Chain A
Amino acid sequence: MLTLTCPYCGVAADETELHPGGEAHLARSGPDSADADFESYLFLRKNPRGVHFERWRHSHGCGKWFHAARDTRTMQVWGTYPAQVTEPPQDLLAAIADRTA
């Protein structure tokens, strides 16, 4: 069972307590955007075989959305972090780069 620690309430939550929300840090396209931007925002995904930055909601807990970095080959969880950022925290990226180099 996948377990992620919610960065808000600190609970180590089983995946049955969480709701997956897909790829994180997508740039949202507005009404004036080109078709290609909408395509990218709505459908195109990195879908990496490796570290995936993704959104989760602690739906059966505190209810907050948060982010996780997880390896899709091994299910290793690199860490979780709050939702109010547009990119992963530098220390998390550094830790991943360090360990996967």
Chain B
Amino acid sequence: MKHYSAFAIAREALRGHTGWERAWRKATPKKRYDVVIVGAGGHGLATAYYLGRNHGIRNVAVLEKGWLGGGNTGRNTTIIRSNYLQDPSAAIYEKARSLYETMSQDLNYNVMYSPRGVMMLAQTEHEVRGYKRTAHANALQGVKTEFISPARVKELCPIIELRGPRYPVLGALWQDRAGTARHDAVAWGYARACSNMGMDIIQKCEVTGIRSENGQVTGVTTTKGDIACGKLGIVVAGHSGHLADMAGFRLPIESVALQALVSEPIKPCMDVVVMANTVHGYMSQSDKGEMVIGGGADGYNNYTQRGSFHHIEETVRALIETFPMISRLKMLRQWGGIVDMTGDRSPIISKTPLGNCFINCGWGTGGFKAIPGSGWATAELIARGEPGPLAAAFGLERFREGRFIDESVAAGVAH
């Protein structure tokens, strides 16, 4: 792998850019791998990366039915934050956030991490209490956040209307080290690093069956033939139920559509991320100037990657009250992703009823921010066969034992 640097750009400029190579090798499947990961989204690729980097396991393939990052990883609104309420969540999301800070250097790939600050608006008395509680919890967890006044909200984001008739701004939970990153680059950067370690990233390769003997996984059936493996990691977000069905177990997951949209580009007008959880509206401005807007999830199961129009309408209607200046903006594009929702709105990083088969899913509407921490924890689980400290609380058994990690209390959503 050639190192990316200012020097490389200068060198290539002088020779007509003829020396750049593919970011990752095109690979055809081998007969057997030590570990096969299903799903080349951020979580699958990060898992492969840390299997190699932290555990020296490099005979690894990542199988992707479509194109790399074509799932939710390339469809999200890229909000990164770690101000969660429960301790296990704060631990894994803060690990992830801190890894994002050095990701560009670690991967030698510019993921454009921008710690511009994220504010979660409190627009009801209930939210004020909820966010103050979260700020106290964060203080105990060592995650730096604060509850700020409406005046401070206005100072940080002047385009906000504080006195909306339906949803006045009563304060906000502010995390100044939170922000955004370039979603595709995260997938591409990990893929390049994995390929460089000798791993195979195989696109257009759909897993259609899971093979096992005596309760142990032995391999997968794919559209590119059978592939044997010692261990299997299922990391397919909205398609987890489908893969679990192949492996013979059920999950506490429902797949629903979540949508986002972007406006025409305008001059810089906000340099923080604003989340309005009561009305399901999330907004930030991309480097190109587009306003990036995320909405609420649909209420029913769906695999079509298209959501209901009325959700877009509700989101935009509410956001216009808080940001009156966007009322005449034209929207350029709208899209949906299929998100994997669990009963307690927390993810699953777990062993499964099938031996040597592990699953990472349930990130729902908010797993982009978790990618590096989740990959770290899932690699540890796969390598050792037992969860480490980051993953321990996220096992499947919590739904049977009633040990929920309830993140739906404060906001009901978690982008």
Contacts and interface: CB of A to CB of B under 8 A. Distances in A.
Contact of A72 (B255, B299, B401): B255
Contacts of B241: 45-49
A47 B310 contact: no
Contacts of A39: 252, 399-400
B401 to A, nearest CB: 7
Given A16-B310, A47-B241, A54 B252 contact: no
A40 B252 CA distance: 8
Interface residues of B, number: 24
Main secondary structure of the interface of B (DSSP, over half): mixed
Interface of A: 1-2, 15-16, 19-20, 22-23, 35-36, 38-40, 42-49, 52, 54, 70, 72-75
A36 B401 CA distance: 9
A48 B246 CA distance: 12
Contacts of B239: 49
B302 A47 contact: no
Contact of B304 (A35, A40, A72): A72
Contacts of B242: 47-49
Contact of A47 (B255, B299, B400): B255
19 contacts: A1-B308, A2-B308, A15-B308, A15-B310, A23-B254, A36-B400, A38-B400, A39-B252, A40-B250, A42-B343, A43-B252, A43-B399, A47-B241, A48-B242, A49-B303, A52-B301, A72-B303, A72-B304, A74-B304
B399 A47 contact: no
Contacts of A36: 400
A1 B310 CA distance: 8
